[in-house]
Amino acid sequence: MKRIVLFENIHPSAREVFEAAGYTDIVTYKSALNGEELLDALSGAEIVGIRSRTQLDQNVLLAAPWVQAIGCFCIGTNQVDLNVAAQAGIPVFNAPFSNTRSVAELVLGEAILLLRRIPEKNARVHQGFWDKSADGAYEIRGKTLGIIGYGNIGSQIGTLAEALGMRVLFHDVETKLPLGNTKPFVSLKRLLEQSDIVTLHVPGGERTKNIINEQTLAQMKPGSILINASRGTVVDIDALHAALTSGHLAGAALDVFPVEPKGVNEPLDSPLRGLDNVILTPHIGGSTQESQENIGREVAEKLVLFSRSGATKGAVNFPEVPYVECAGAARILHMHQNVPGAMGALSNVLAESGLNIVGQQLQTRGQLGYAVTDVDAEVSDEVLDKLRVQPGTVRCDRLKGA
């Protein structure tokens, strides 16, 4: 039975999934470890679960050759050296969708609060004022929401917004199926001109850097609202500050920033601090109890599936082989250098050993090839050893068939 080691207080939903699949050797740690402590904890671990603070760099990965799969129980995976892991035949999984709903709910909640000028009114009551004016306060019903980036989060927001009675437009660089009555807009300018609320759900990186800038802010409707819970680099903060203080925008909500504080005691350095028509949150769009529970389940399920069938669908660093039921008496997981002859060597060893291939899936990604091969009889240790010493073999394991 495989040993599973989980760090950083991963949600108990993960343990439930492993236990339901029959795994009992599960060791959990409350925090991230490093140095010798981490290496000791990894001893004999075939499946490893981490969150964002455990660093699985080249040294750690090379010192733990028994690790077969890594689960990042979060979204980001840059705490793992993904190339080294791939070259060692270790797929890395994460949970890209588990917090989609949490972000969507926050964005719509903020839209409602800003339309009613609640941040400002809340502050006034705390300061001892009782101003009951309806000036500048609006319902969300009937307003137009412009979504930039109609992916997992953007499309979910569109669906929820329609349920609130909003008109929904979206702009995406790819052609996307519009859900409900949402309208795709090829022109970002036209979307900005028509939207009462604009919300950003694009990836980070150079291609989306400052897509909201002085010029695009000027294209937004006077009195409109901007929300960014995607990546901090997408908005030019000085230009946004100017649009808010001039009164061109009525409000904004930001969950992400070009430079974010590293720790709980470090203040956010931003000109937007202190503006009472701006909601600032510390990158918690996806952070809810439900998302943690979903992440625990989603990643554990991927690890169980890999461990039982070799499926790597959703792996971030590996050729993706989907789940297919084993067609033979045994299954061989063969990770190899993506070079001519690697598959030939696999077939030859199997033929020489009298094993007939009854099913096979091959995928490659960069320098790595991954073949999942079903054969008609049990695979002996000897055959496995022969496969492991073939030139180009990165890793080779065997699973029992159905």
Question: What is the contact surface with ligand NAI in residues (CB under 6 A)?
Answer: 75, 99, 103, 148-154, 171-174, 201-204, 207-208, 211, 229-231, 255-256, 283, 285-286
Q: From the CB of 284, what's the least distance to ligand NAI, in Å?
A: 6
Which strands form 357-365's sheet, in the order they lie side by side?
A: 357-365, 368-375, 330-337, 393-400
CA–CA gap between residue 325 and residue 401 (Å, rounded)? 9
Strand partners, 400: 330
* Beta carbon nearer to ligand NAI, 153 or 333: 153
Q: From the CB of 36, what's the least distance to ligand NAI, in Å?
A: 33
List of residues 6+ apart from 63 with CB closer than 8 A: 39, 42
Q: From the CB of 97, what's the least distance to ligand NAI, in Å?
A: 7
Q: What's at 125, amino acid-wise?
A: V
Catalytic site residue 116? no
Catalytic site residue 283? yes
CA–CA gap between residue 150 and residue 184 (Å, rounded)? 9
Q: From the CB of 54, what's the least distance to ligand NAI, in Å?
A: 20
* Beta carbon nearer to ligand NAI, 61 or 272: 272
Which of 37, 214, 260, 378 is labelled catalytic? 260
Residue identified by tokens 């990186």 is 205
List of residues 6+ apart from 229 with CB closer than 8 A: 103, 106, 107, 153, 199, 200, 201, 253, 254, 255, 256, 285
List the structure tokens of 397.
């394991």
CA–CA gap between residue 182 and residue 146 (Å, rounded)? 10
Question: Which residue from 55, 90, 63 is spatially nearest to 319, judged by alpha carbons?
Answer: 90
- Burial degree of 118 (CB within 10 A; 0-12, 13-18, 19+): middle
Q: From the CB of 230, what's the least distance to ligand NAI, in Å?
A: 4
Catalytic site residue 201? no
Which of 116, 190, 283, 308 is labelled catalytic? 283
* Beta carbon nearer to ligand NAI, 283 or 313: 283
Strand partners, 372: 333, 361
State which residue has the least CB distance to ligand NAI: 151
* Beta carbon nearer to ligand NAI, 231 or 398: 231
Count of alpha carbons within 13 angstroms of residue 234, beta-carbon side: 20
- Burial degree of 358 (CB within 10 A; 0-12, 13-18, 19+): middle
Cβ neighbours, 10 Å, residue 80: 24
Q: From the CB of 85, what's the least distance to ligand NAI, in Å?
A: 21
* Beta carbon nearer to ligand NAI, 131 or 174: 174
* Beta carbon nearer to ligand NAI, 159 or 245: 159
Which of 51, 117, 171, 231 is labelled catalytic? 231
List of residues 6+ apart from 57 with CB closer than 8 A: 81, 84
* Beta carbon nearer to ligand NAI, 141 or 207: 207
Residues classed as catalytic: 231, 260, 283
